[in-house]
Amino acid sequence: MGRETRNRVPRHVAVIMDGNGRWAKRRAMPRHAGHRAGVKSARRTVEACGRSGVEVLTLFAFSSENWKRPPSEVGALMRLFLEGLEREVDDLHRNGVRVRFIGDRACLAAELVSRMEDAERLTAANEGLVLVIAVAYGGRWDILQATRSLADEVAAGRLEAAAISEADFASRLQLHGLPDPDLLIRTGGETRISNFLLWNLAYTECYFTPCLWPDFDEREFAAALSSFAGAERRYGLTPDQIETPGLAGA
């Protein structure tokens, strides 16, 4: 039986932070104002995870599809991301948070990549919450780059194709070394996963809320945790098997 089954707190929470633009529009504000408000919500969620005993928090900050947005919005998002790194990383470090980025860094500006790497180095030895930020990330891209890595190993004669295991594949995904998400939260009212962590979300409990991301607060987070606590996680087993000692978590 896994740790999350015993005390009903998810080890790993993933969040699709949706609704910044709509939040701003309802207030007759520019879209970038919604993104700035969303940064405050991200900070609240990091703090709530730390208090709740969550070990890993993954935030979907910028998807591979987001490049299709208007250039002015993309530019504003990238500037906001840089500002956020400069403003937040030292505080995260002081609180023992380890920062990790996932996504296609080849798509990003050199200055941004440099700041990301600085943040990872600064916090690498921290033993508190692991904060994973997905930037220029797409689930299909993640699977494709893992497949190419395995194909290179086979072509070089270092690996037999028939011997490739799920563990081999998972070790080449962006979240390698971390547990798969137990709980996915999506704000903004949409009920899809939008090309996020396609492999890793196979058995994740999903919580969808109409709350727009800038309005997502500790009460909303507690409601998501409560929903997770009431879920029966069977991993393909029957309810009777779950209740049988030695079978749960198989």
Tokens of 176: 């390698």
| Residue linked to tokens 């070089």 | 156
Residues 6+ apart with CB under 8 A from 1: 248, 249
> Residue for token digits 């079978």?
247
With a cut of 90, say whether residue 49 has pLDDT above it. yes
* Catalytic residue selected from 20, 66, 95, 142: 66
Under CATH, what is the fold of the domain 3-138+180-243? Undecaprenyl pyrophosphate synthetase (3.40.1180)
Angle (CA) 188 190 194, round 5°: 110
Q: Determine which of 9-13, 123-127, 228-232, 242-246 has the lowest per-residue pLDDT on average.
A: 242-246
For residue 174, the Cα-to-chain-centroid distance in whole angstroms is 11
Amino acid at 110: A
Q: State both tokens at 33.
A: 């104002």
Q: Does the active-site annotation cover 66?
A: yes
Mean pLDDT of the chain: 91
pTM of the entire predicted model: 0.89
Residue 76 pLDDT: 82
Evaluate whether 78 touches 113 at the Cβ level (below 8 Å). Answer: no
Using CA atoms, how far apart are residues 123 and 74, in angstroms rounded to an integer? 27
In angstroms, the first-to-last Cα distance of the chain is 8
| pLDDT at residue 86, rounded to an integer | 85
| Chain-centroid distance, C-alpha 144 | 18
Catalytic residue among 7, 18, 90, 215: 18
Q: Please say if 18 is a catalytic residue.
A: yes
Tell me the angle at which helices 71-94 and 110-123 cross, rounded to the nearest 10 degrees.
20
* Confidence category of residue 239, pLDDT binned at 50, 70, 90: low
Residue 179 and residue 11 in contact, taking contact as beta carbons nearer than 8 Å? yes
Q: Which of 23, 50, 80 is nearest to 221 (CA)?
A: 50
CB-based contacts of 24-28 (< 8 A; 24+ apart in sequence): none
Domain boundaries, the chain: 3-138+180-243
Q: Per this entry, what is the length of the chain?
A: 250
